[in-house]
């Protein structure tokens, strides 16, 4: 008998890939989304449910073997005060409700898609699962709270946390498509090579990791960071995007000191108008700072082997965005 799995956030970027690959492997997949078009809602494999609602019409986990929980509130570039409660309600409280439903229905496996931002930065580079410093954003704090519910709540016998680094692939959303579009328009600055290290992972490799985590008994109770095994500098990414767009390589470099001065001006504009300016010190840090993580644990324990890298994936991503 094929295992029946529930995928929350099934309409999202990762969720769509996960559902397709699970079906290709013979799983019976039930898709849960917050909002569905009327025509799709009538499908037998779709549940339309707001996990944050006070009352649910039935238990979505009935007859489910494994839950892949992706639904949540994504990290906003400019967090505001009201986001704090929303992150807690969507990422932590809704996860608790789903765990309770899973426990009541006898679900065996619960795979929670968290984030490397669930904890703060550590001194060890690249950072791994041993880093346990508190997250410094409401988003990260809500993801960490949800992780603790999954791992410590005792709701299911096989709970696993997946912490993807920045996920790339065929999607219009996220920082990478925005960067591609800005370079296409010629409005992205030729940033200097500062040899920063940023970890990323292809969406198909994230899905592969999650299915391994569900299938392998040794994954129970574990946290796994997922990357494609490479560390990219932002200048490398800039040059590869230009190549994928058919643009000549730029010999220009904007001095880092000038970028820092522009970021300080952006900080001042943000203070005056009460909301972040599009380019400020935080935006600059995301460009030239490092976010370097190791996926050695999942490779060692579960045999995870990423098959994609960013440079070879960029031409397909560019073609997708041009359609």
Q: How many domains does the chain have?
A: 1
- The pLDDT-based confidence of 81 (bands split at 50, 70, 90) is low
What is the pLDDT, as a whole number, of residue 221? 98
What's the mean pLDDT in 130-134? 92
Tell me whether residue 262 is in a domain: no
In a domain, 318, yes or no: no
Cα–Cα distances (Å) from 143 to 46, 105, 114, 272, in that order, read: 26, 24, 6, 31
End-to-end CA distance of the chain: 40
* Residue 298: closest CA among 197, 211, 232: 211
The answer to whether residue 124 scores a pLDDT higher than 90 is: no
Q: Is residue 79 part of a domain?
A: yes
Q: Is residue 11 part of a domain?
A: yes
In 3D space, the residue among 176, 124, 58, 67 whose CA is nearest the CA of residue 292 turns out to be 124
Q: Is 196 domain-assigned?
A: no
3, 28 Cβ separation under 8 angstroms: yes
Determine the Cα angle at 208 with ends 207 and 211, to 5°: 85
Q: Is residue 310 domain-resident?
A: no
Q: pLDDT at residue 77 above 70?
A: no
* Ramachandran quadrant class, 7 (left: phi over 0; alpha: psi -120 to 50; beta: rest): beta
What CATH number did the domain enclosing 33 receive?
A: 3.40.50.720
**Does the pLDDT at position 31 exceed 70?**
yes
Q: What percent of the chain has pLDDT over 90?
A: 82
| 43 within a domain of the structure (yes/no) | yes
pTM: 0.93
Residue 205 placed within a domain:
no
| pLDDT-derived band at 73, boundaries 50, 70, 90 | confident
CB burial of 134-148 (b: ≥16 within 10 Å; e: otherwise) equals: ebebbbbbbbbbbbe
Average pLDDT, rounded, for the chain: 92
Check residue 76 and give its pLDDT: 64
Range of the domain at 45: 4-164
Here the tokens at position 24 are 């290709």
């Amino acid at each position: 008998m094929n295992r029946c799995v529930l995928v929350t956030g099934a309409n999202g970027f990762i969720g769509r890939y996960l559902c397709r690959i699970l079906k290709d492997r013979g799983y019976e997949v039930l898709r849960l989304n917050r909002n569905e078009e009327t025509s799709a809602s009538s499908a037998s494999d779709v549940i339309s449910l707001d996990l944050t609602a006070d009352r649910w019409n039935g238990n979505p986990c009935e007859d489910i073997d494994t839950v892949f929980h992706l639904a949540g509130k994504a990290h906003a570039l400019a967090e505001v005060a009201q986001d704090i409660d929303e992150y807690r309600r969507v990422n932590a409280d809704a996860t608790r409700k789903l765990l309770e439903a899973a426990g009541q229905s006898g679900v065996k496996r619960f795979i929670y898609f968290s984030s490397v931002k669930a904890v703060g930065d550590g001194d060890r580079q690249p950072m791994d699962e041993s880093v346990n410093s508190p997250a410094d954003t409401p988003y990260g704090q809500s993801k960490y709270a949800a992780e603790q519910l999954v791992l410590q709540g005792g709701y299911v016998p096989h709970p696993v946390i997946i912490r993807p680094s920045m996920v790339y692939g065929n999607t219009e959303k996220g920082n990478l498509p925005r960067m591609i579009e800005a370079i296409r328009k010629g409005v992205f600055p030729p940033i200097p090579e500062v040899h920063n290290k940023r970890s990323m992972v292809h969406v198909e490799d994230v899905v592969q990791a999650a299915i391994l985590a569900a299938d392998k008994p040794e994954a129970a109770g574990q946290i796994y960071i997922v990357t494609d095994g490479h560390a990219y500098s932002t200048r490398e990414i800039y040059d590869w995007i230009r190549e994928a767009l058919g643009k000549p390589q730029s010999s220009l470099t904007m001095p880092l000191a000038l970028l820092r001065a522009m970021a300080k001006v952006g900080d001042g504009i943000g203070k005056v108008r009460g909301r972040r300016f599009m380019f400020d010190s935080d935006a600059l840090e995301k460009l030239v700072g490092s976010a370097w993580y190791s996926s050695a644990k999942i490779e060692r324990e579960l045999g995870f082997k990423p098959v994609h890298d960013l440079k070879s994936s960029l031409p397909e991503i560019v073609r997708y965005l041009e359609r």
